[in-house]
Chains A and B, each alone.
Chain A
Amino acid sequence: MNSRSLLVTGALVRDTFREAFARKIFWGFFGCSTALILFFVFILKIDIVQGAIATVSLFGKSSRGEDVQRLVHQVHGAIAAFLFTAGMFLAVFASAGLIPSVFEPGRIELLLSKPVARHHILLGRYIGNVLVIAANIFYLVFAVWIIFGIKTGVWTYGFLWASVLTIFIFSVLLTVVVLIGVLWESAVVATMVTFGIMLVSPILAQKPLLERLLTSETSRNVVRAFYYALPKAFDVGRISRSLVLGEPVTSWMPLWSSAIFGVVVLAGGLYAFSKRNY
């Protein structure tokens, strides 16, 4: 990538951040994350005696002592689970408009009139969108990790990997927003399709059970096809949980198959964008 490409990419990323700021997306996430961080800083009090928790105080009420490691894992696991479920929905909902807004008449012509390849415009916007969400996720995860590390002395790196996986699955789901955004130029349709894929993910994750319940081989093949073709947000969430809890990961397949989905869908979006008339 030459310096001119970097200049253009930087401009597109900055513009995405500006739009996110203006839409209050960034500040909404930032506010929620900050509230959670402050909660852990001021409300949760942990007294440790010889490496074990003597008391855990919440809103002035004390509970019985727990093993430090276990408590930290539980909190990290809860945050990772939150990021993979509600956080992911929020991220997609809040940022889905950032891609289709580029295709608004009167705006897209200006972008296309610049000496920038079409794929570069779309990729710049995509990267900007991922970075908006990544900045918020890293902010929350790092802050919580540091707070718990300082309060408990437990530094579990698996939690940091959870944030990376959350951003990864968001970037995969965002490719759907890109493709739908290019084809329909509608944030609503893009959000609905992406939510559909997210909602079907935990159902398809029950593939072994579904295979047992379904009587027809055709139906089983349909389930398998959907399972392998679609991104596995739920299964990647399980990997994330394993990493947080320090458990071994049984299969990395959900990760690489989701990555393949993302690459294919993004390529489809870039191709469709290169062929469209505005």
Chain B
Amino acid sequence: MSFAITTEGLVKVFRNRWSGKEVRAVDGISLQVERGATFGLLGPNGAGKTTFVKMLLSCAHPTAGRAMVFDRDSREPEARRPIGYLPENHRFPTYLTGESMLDFYGALSGMEAASRRKRIPELLAIVGLAEWGKVRLGKYSKGMLQRVGLAQALMHAPSLLVLDEPSDGVDPIGRRQIRDILHTLEQQGVTIFLNSHLLAEVELFCRDVAIIHRGRVALEGKVKDLTTGSGYRIEAEHVPERLEQELRQKAVAVAPRNGNVEFLFGSREAANQAVDQLRAEHCEIETVARTTSTLEDVFVRTINE
């Protein structure tokens, strides 16, 4: 299996220059995002999502661990060539027009002038701003800036799209338009990594999701498995590594929880087998519960626990 994103024990500690006080923004995140996946990164404010994304893009340097993009260390400039990025709270230079902005960022991505000239009108048309190319960005509304920002991220036809709150400030029609663009890209095999507060949006669009809380992965799995139909949650203590790996194959999601391990199973049979295996290994079972939930339920429960 090849991965678009791989992180291993990624840690980021911010240290105050004067007081020496430390903040552990990211605390050992290990994640794998498959090529062609649509992956949603969720978490409450201050969970470490943005810091995690910034380390992927080398805007922030990891204190420990490493991040790989298509098997290249994210610190190498070349690792960023296949990435298209739309940051949250972006600030595009307002002296640029839509066209000159796309031209500038396209050139930084290594696109030749002829390719940029061809690509710019195409992209402006795709994001519904064909008539606005020659207008300064200072005149754009928030939703328009978001759409031209998406065009910027798509300029060099990236294989990995990292979007931080892409629908922020966009009206429902624009939001739908963005979702349609992302669906088209998904069909083309582009890996989409979405960092969003909008749970409904993630639930609608993403196939895989990770919930980050206090700098750690609190839950990870397929959205479909986490949210639809009934499932079974088993929390156990003292689970041997070998058994955890074995159960991981059968579980729809696995997450560490207060020193225990939580497994989510899609069927009663799978849950019963897991209970048998855990007991056979003398593991202490803390919880066995049935689950039926939306992504919001999953999110709230994960954060509250």
Contact = CB atoms under 8 A, between A and B. Distances in A.
**Which among B83, B87, B94, B108 has the highest number of chain A CB atoms within 10 Å?**
B108
A116 B111 CA distance: 12
B119 to A, nearest CB: 15
B59 A107 contact: no
A105 B164 CA distance: 14
B259 interface: no
Contacts of A116: 77, 108
Given A8-B110, A11-B108, A277 B87 contact: no
Interface in A34-51: none
Nearest to A117: B77
Contacts of B257: none
Interface string A1-34: 0001001101110110011011100000000000
Nearest to B82: A115
A109 B58 CA distance: 9
Given A108-B59, A112-B57, A115-B109, A15 B104 contact: yes
A105 B79 CA distance: 22
Contacts of A8: 107-108, 110
Interface string B271-301: 0000000000000000000000000000000
B54 to A, nearest CB: 7
Given A4-B110, A105-B89, A114-B105, A277 B77 contact: no
Contact of A107 (B85, B93, B100): B93
Nearest to A115: B81
| Chain A interface main SS type | helix
Contacts of A10: 107
Contacts of B105: 110, 114
Chain B interface bracket (under 10, 10 to 19, 20 to 34, 35 or more): 20 to 34
Contacts of B60: 277-278
B85 A110 contact: yes
Contacts, number: 87
Given A11-B107, A115-B110, A109 B59 contact: yes
Interface string B79-107: 11101010101111111100010011101
Nearest to B57: A113
B44 to A, nearest CB: 21
A117 B79 CA distance: 11
A113 B80 contact: yes
B112 interface: yes
B5 to A, nearest CB: 14
Interface string B31-57: 000000000000000000000001001
A109 B57 contact: yes
B207 interface: no
A253 interface: no
A106 B110 contact: no
A254 B100 CA distance: 42
Contact of A19 (B95, B108, B162): B95
B197 interface: no
A117 to B, nearest CB: 5
A64 interface: no
B171 interface: no
Contacts of B80: 113-115
Contacts of A277: 14, 54, 59-61
A107 B109 contact: no
A275 interface: yes
**Which among A4, A113, A278 has the highest number of chain B CB atoms within 10 Å?**
A113
A67 interface: no
Nearest to B96: A18
A149 to B, nearest CB: 37
Contacts of B83: 113
A104 interface: yes
A21 to B, nearest CB: 7
A115 B79 CA distance: 7
Given A8-B108, A18-B100, A110-B90, 12 more contacts: A7-B107, A18-B95, A22-B95, A106-B87, A109-B90, A113-B83, A114-B108, A114-B109, A115-B79, A115-B108, A277-B61, A278-B60
